[in-house]
Amino acid sequence: MKQGKFITIDGVEGAGKSTQIDFICSYLQEKGVEVVRTREPGGTELGEKIRSLLLGVETGDMHSDTELLLMFSARNEHIQSKIQPALAQGKWVVSDRFTDASFAYQGGGRSLDLKRIEALETWVQGEFRPDLTLLLDLSVDIGMTRIEVRSAKDRIEQEERAFFERVRQVFIDRSLQYPQRIKLVDASVAIDEVSQQIHTYLEQL
Ligand code: Z5A
């Protein structure tokens, strides 16, 4: 059976994920690959509704476990109804964020037990993991400066600086734990230089 590749891109706010996904999709399409671009939380009709609940400031306070479970509920829908069917058709799927974000934001940021997140990962995904994860790394300060121009912050973006430092640290820890899959990209340099690093990993894939 034909099987496409699953690429995810992650990192702290303002790391340049959206910018680099444009590059990744163009690059793959030039190679004749059929690409499905998607995002988390979201990516499906139901997932986008869950995203509104998760990120909407009007949602107000939410227990950290509820936040984690909603992330995985949206993810289950995403995998079952969008990602796996596309891969089975030989398409490549590029997702703006995936499970590493749950480890970083809910595990690091919210200080939830990483073992409990692993249990949910196994429940929802079994052995399913991305073929390649590009982790765009840069300091929290630079990332914040890049998104300062935006009008309003979402529910999670309103967290304090220490939250995002913990998020970044978990991302880095995971890139050291899974070096075969997670490639750390220096996202502090110019856009073209970030794309160049990503290009090298895409060629390897
Ligand atoms: N979340 C979670 O908690 N748990 C989970 O399991 C999952 C997600 C899956 C989703 O937000 C939120 O959900 C996120 C994590 C949480 N929470 N927060 N906070 P999102 O992923 O949709 O949005 P985001 O994280 O806020 O991403 P972003 O801020 O939109 O940033 P970005 O896509 O990485 O960056 P960008 O839009 O490409 O670039 C930002 C600006 O910087 C823009 O003006 C660019 O032109 C500029 N830029 C980009 N690259 C460069 C370079 N290299 N140099 C200079 N300027 C640059």
Q: Which two tokens stand for residue 39?
A: 């995002």
Output the pLDDT for position 149: 81
Nearest residue to 122 via CA among 63, 75, 168? 75
Q: Higher-confidence residue: 158 or 97?
A: 97
- The alpha carbon of residue 13 and the mean position of all alpha carbons in its chain are separated, in whole angstroms, by 11
For range 174-187, the mean pLDDT: 98
- Please tell me if the CB atom of residue 181 comes closer than 6 angstroms to any atom of ligand 1: no
The whole-chain average pLDDT of the chain stands at: 96
**Residue ID of nearest Cα to ligand 1 atom 6:** 102
Query: Are 20 and 134 in contact, with CB atoms under 8 Å apart?
Result: yes
pLDDT of residue 124: 98
Q: Which atom of ligand 1 is nearest to the CA of 154?
A: 19
Query: Is the model's pLDDT at 1 over the cut of 70?
Result: no
Closest ligand 1 atom, residue 164 Cα = 19
Q: 13: Cβ below 6 Å to ligand 1?
A: yes
Contacts of 26 (CB under 8 A, 6+ apart): none
Give pLDDT, residue 148: 84
Rounded CA-CA distance 139/160 in Å is 14
Is the C-beta atom of 26 inside 6 A of ligand 1? no
DSSP state of 156: T
* 147, 163, 193: residue to mutate for ligand 1 pocket, most atoms within 8 A of CB: 147
102 CB within 6 A, ligand 1: yes
CA of 16 relative to ligand 1 center, distance in Å: 6
CB of residue 14 inside a 6 A radius of ligand 1: yes
pLDDT of residue 180: 98
CA distance 202 to 168: 23
* Whether residue 115 has pLDDT greater than 80: yes
State pTM to two decimals: 0.97
**Distance between alpha carbon 16 and the CA centroid of its chain, in Å?**
12
Amino acid 150: pLDDT = 78
Q: Is the CB of 135 under 6 A from ligand 1?
A: no
Least confident segment among 36-40, 52-56, 157-161: 157-161
CB atoms within 10 A of CB 4: 19
Q: Which atom of ligand 1 is nearest to the CA of 15?
A: 34
Interatomic CA distance for residues 58 and 39, integer angstroms: 22
* DSSP codes, 90-128: T-EEEEES-HHHIIIIIIIIS---HHHHHHHHHHHHTT-
* Distances from the Cα of 112 to the Cα of 68, 70, 103, 124, 199, angstroms: 9, 14, 9, 18, 34
The pLDDT tens digits for 47-97 are 999 999 999 999 999 999 999 999 999 999 999 999 999 999 999 999 999
Residue 192, pLDDT > 90, answer: yes
Distance in angstroms (rounded) separating the CA atoms of residues 78 and 42: 7
Residue 2 has pLDDT above 70, yes or no: no
Report which secondary-structure segment, H or E, holds 6. strand 6-11
Report which protein residue has its CA nearest ligand 1's atom 19: 157
pLDDT tens per residue, range 135-157: 999 999 999 999 888 768 889 88
